[in-house]
Amino acid sequence: MKTPLALLAFGLGLSLFAGCATAPSGAGCASGAVRLETGYDSAPDSACRRGDAGAAHFTLVIAPEAEPINPSPWYAFTLDGAPGRYRVELNYAAAAHRYAPWIRSGAGDWRRLGADHVAVADDGRRAVLELTLGGGPLQVAAQPLYDLDDYAALEQRWPGPWRTIGLSVEGRALRALVLEPMADGAGWALFLGRQHPPEIPGAWALDAFVDEALRLREAGLLASGLIVIPVLNPDGVDAGYWRLNENRVDLNRDWRGRSQPEVRAVFALLDALSLAPGDLELMVDFHATVAERLYLPQAEELPAQVSARLDAWLAAMEADGVFQTLEPMRTNPRLRFSAKAVFTDDWRTVAVTWEAGDETSPDQVRDHARRAAQQWALSGG
């Protein structure tokens, strides 16, 4: 919801930068007894300025890692210092305001900042957040942070074996959970996450889908082998990028060319496991966009038996009510470079781009993913 800037009766001027006492700086800026911090894990090193309207006013420049780029204007920062009310203006260099802010006090839970504390300019190029600082630091972000420490915690939560399948451009380990099929003749399922760093609802969906698949395997209801690569772009996640990897390449346009180490690592793993088309029953690539959506292969792109399996899964999900908001679309992508397109074309399997919704509640995102995993198992997994 947008509140006109003029309605924010906060008593501070909005003229930007005029008379600024400080030059733009990375890693945050201080104003009197309060400090705005940037440049930490998943929080980009956005240029920060003290506003000219007094000690309670900051401006952050929200800029992408490269242009042109898809408009996923990610932001994250922490405000810390003297209790009081503060105003932080997000100044967008290459996109309009998209993500409604979340806040977290200290180590508490993330919650949405009330819409009446967010004022967006008519052209979307500025958003002013009205923030109240209590006794401790206040984190603010475009989505609840899900950073590399959270992925390390996943490795504790999910039983191994985990393996390193390659290194990112910056040398971070690319990690995969690999669990063999539990019956002769059972196939494999591949799950990919975080090609695009800001798409955190997609991470919740992967988390819930895999949790449920593990439970179903333990219960003897799913025999498939599982390959889970929860974070394919760790460099972008750590840097707080909008879209790209450290080489400024969109990984989800690289599955045909395989120019990037992150994508090559996936194929090297499939080779190491001696998997060939026919062995892979399911590939789900988790993302997020404005609304919940399931991009699926078209019937004619798949062998009849595979298409029938997809139909059975879709029918089961529909009967379970999942499609009241999660819209299935059997699409033929214009560019056949994505993970979905390449696994459809080359592996002739059920290859899905799962788009969680930017604004969908975390509980609903997780519920849909859990039920989709159950219906996959029940429909023949």
Query: Nearest distance from residue 145's CB to Zn ion, in Å?
Result: 18
Query: Nearest distance from residue 176's CB to Zn ion, in Å?
Result: 20
Which of 175, 194, 196, 371 forms a contact with Zn ion (CB under 5 A)?
196
Q: What's the burial of 6, exposed, middle or buried (CB within 10 Å: 0-12/13-18/19+)?
A: exposed
The residues pairing with 79 across neighbouring beta strands, listed in sequence order, are 36, 138
Report the residue number, 91 or 195, with the smaller CB distance to Zn ion: 195
Contact status, residue 70 vs residue 23, Cβ threshold 8 Å? no
Strand ranges, E, within 239-340: 280-289, 293-296, 327-330
Listed ranges 86-94, 133-141, 196-204, 356-364: which one lies at the site for Zn ion (CB under 5 A):
196-204
Q: What's the burial of 71, exposed, middle or buried (CB within 10 Å: 0-12/13-18/19+)?
A: middle
Question: Binding string, 240-279, against Zn ion, x = CB under 5 A?
Answer: ----------------------------------------
CA-to-CA distance for 359 and 74, rounded, in angstroms? 14
Query: Nearest distance from residue 380's CB to Zn ion, in Å?
Result: 28
Query: Nearest distance from residue 270's CB to Zn ion, in Å?
Result: 21
Listed ranges 110-118, 195-203, 270-278, 314-322: which one lies at the site for Zn ion (CB under 5 A):
195-203
Burial 319-358 (b: 16+ CB within 10 A, else e): eeebeeebebeeeeeeeebbbbbbbbeebbbbbbbbbbbb
Q: Is 87 in the site for Zn ion (CB under 5 A)?
A: no
Listed ranges 4-12, 88-96, 286-294, 358-366: which one lies at the site for Zn ion (CB under 5 A):
286-294
Q: Is 287 in the site for Zn ion (CB under 5 A)?
A: yes
Listed ranges 225-233, 253-261, 282-290, 293-301: which one lies at the site for Zn ion (CB under 5 A):
282-290
Report the residue number, 150 or 199, with the smaller CB distance to Zn ion: 199
Report the residue number, 81 or 198, with the smaller CB distance to Zn ion: 198
Query: Nearest distance from residue 205's CB to Zn ion, in Å?
Result: 12
Query: Nearest distance from residue 196's CB to Zn ion, in Å?
Result: 4
CA-to-CA distance for 125 and 72, rounded, in angstroms? 13
**Dihedral (CA of 78, 54, 112, 359) sign:** negative
Q: Is 194 in the site for Zn ion (CB under 5 A)?
A: no
CA dihedral angle for residue 258, residue 261, residue 293, residue 111, rounded to 10 degrees:
-160
CA-to-CA distance for 209 and 203, rounded, in angstroms? 10
Report the residue number, 287 or 368, with the smaller CB distance to Zn ion: 287
Query: Nearest distance from residue 250's CB to Zn ion, in Å?
Result: 9
Residue number closest to Zn ion, CB atom: 287
Binding site for Zn ion (CB under 5 A): 196, 199, 287
